[in-house]
Amino acid sequence: MANAPKIAFSPVTPGKAAGTLVVFCDDRLQFGPPAARALGDAVAVVTRAAKTEHFTGKSGSALEILVPDGLKADRLVVLGAGKAADLKQQDLVKLGGAAMGKLPKAGDAVIVADLPGGEGGMTGAQAADLAQGAMLRAYAFDRYKTRRKPDEAPAGNRTVTIVTADVAGARKAFAEREAIAEGVLMARDLVNEPPNILYPEEFARRTLALKKAGCAVQILNMAALKKLGMGALLGVGQGSTRESRVVVMRWNGGKKGEAPLAFIGKGVCFDTGGISIKPAAGMEDMKGDMAGAACVVGLMQALAARKAKVNAVGVIGLVENMPDGNAQRPGDIVKSMSGQTIEIINTDAEGRLVLGDVLWYTKEKFKPKFMVNLATLTGAIIVALGHEYAGLFSNNDELSERLAKSGEATGEAVWRMPLSPAYDKMIDSRFADMKNTGGSRYGGAITAAQFLQRFVDKTPWAHLDIAGTGMDSRQNEINKSWASGWGVRLLDRLVADYYEG
């Protein structure tokens, strides 16, 4: 990936160790043998500097020393890891990201994969976790900047060497982790793109890149969507000069004929709100209203690139919601692919119309084991959960529990929200089978989920409302981008832990 540094693995610290050297210590200021060997006599320098700077090795803390005595490196960074015995996989990924964050924006670096408590340093898999964190943290979306500062060389022009005793194991483990990271970065790129560049037809064209990894890709044009009867999806896009699209991506890595896992994404490439137009302030962020679709593309890339032993299908609905003379109006009634009719109350409640048709299409065509959809669907979920958790709505307890555990393992956390017939009544319409909003500012995320549930029948299904996590997301050790690529690691982990043969 252009935004990622070159990752190398070495059994020993390179002799010259030019650039920056990064080592880890625990909360007792102890180093493992490989880190101690890399530091040599400079351990005494670290000890003195730690007293001066009141550095204790607490998790997340850092001690930086320029041109340290006894080292050939230009700079030494000591990162505190806290209690080394308590670190989990996600903690190691974060440590790798934190290490990358302490590096200058240009120049090579060496990271010693080591913590106290072992003789040989970290395992190959743990070293690969550090490398994945560094790769995710290095991402920057700056392709439209025509000027760079002297120290802002492209990330791809630098090498980060991870020192580990198990080079072969690290390379093998990193091949899979790199595939997942590339899926995340692909999703970030899509969400960060400006809407004049990434409109539905262009988004669909970019999915063809998945063919290189082995995915089959099918793009459904306007004629195909009309023939299928996707009146709800087409109604959203009818006010735009940009044509709508649906993209179907298939990865067949499992048993022949086995029902696939299905992932569905909302892809509103720009959302003005339509006739029910949004306020001007902050509308530029609505280029990210396709983060759900971006996640599905990134996930399919990851599954294919790491040759996941599973059959999976990704389906995304791509539209642009604009307010011209042909746009749908509040009061219109549209017919969905399912045959159910929908009264449009608010044209800014458009994502559920797109998803309704795509969910029904996926259910009917592929008969999947389950369906998980992702969508930046409601501001109401941000009111409820902030930017820390995605909202999870589901008709299946097992799927919900597996998503929750996958979220805990990756740090992409979900929180289950209720579904109930009492909320369902709020979207019943006097004139059609349903309304596209509940007509109240209360429970908005729930009534949106109730709407989607009408298009899944008895198929195990989960809806992830990622309005708070997919764009304008919280900055952390492994993401400094406006677009987080949220959901790729979560769903890849779900597949890996529970569904691969």
- Please identify every residue annotated as catalytic: 278, 352
Lay out the sheet containing 261-271: strands in order across.
216-220, 245-252, 311-321, 261-271, 370-375, 461-465, 390-394, 414-416
**Distance of CA 464 to CAs 181, 326, 375, 421, 452, Å?**
21, 31, 6, 19, 11
448 close to 383: Cβ distance less than 8 angstroms: no
- Where does 418-478 show beta strands of DSSP type E? 434-435, 461-465
Strands 341-343 and 333-335: antiparallel
With a CB cutoff of 8 Å and minimum separation 6, the contacts of 241 are 322, 324
* Ramachandran sector of residue 421 (left: φ over 0; alpha: ψ -120 to 50; beta: rest): alpha
Largest CA distance in the chain: 81
Q: What distance in Å separates the CA atoms of residue 337 and residue 233, rounded to the nearest whole number?
A: 9
Structure tokens at 452: 């989607």
Nearest to 478, CA basis, from 134, 102, 130: 134
Q: Six-digit token pair at 370?
A: 């389950």
What is the spatial order of strands in the sheet that 6-10 belongs to? 6-10, 159-163, 109-112, 20-25, 75-80, 62-66
- Are 245 and 203 within 8 A, CB to CB? yes
**Would the CA dihedral through 382, 386, 392, 397 be positive or negative?**
negative
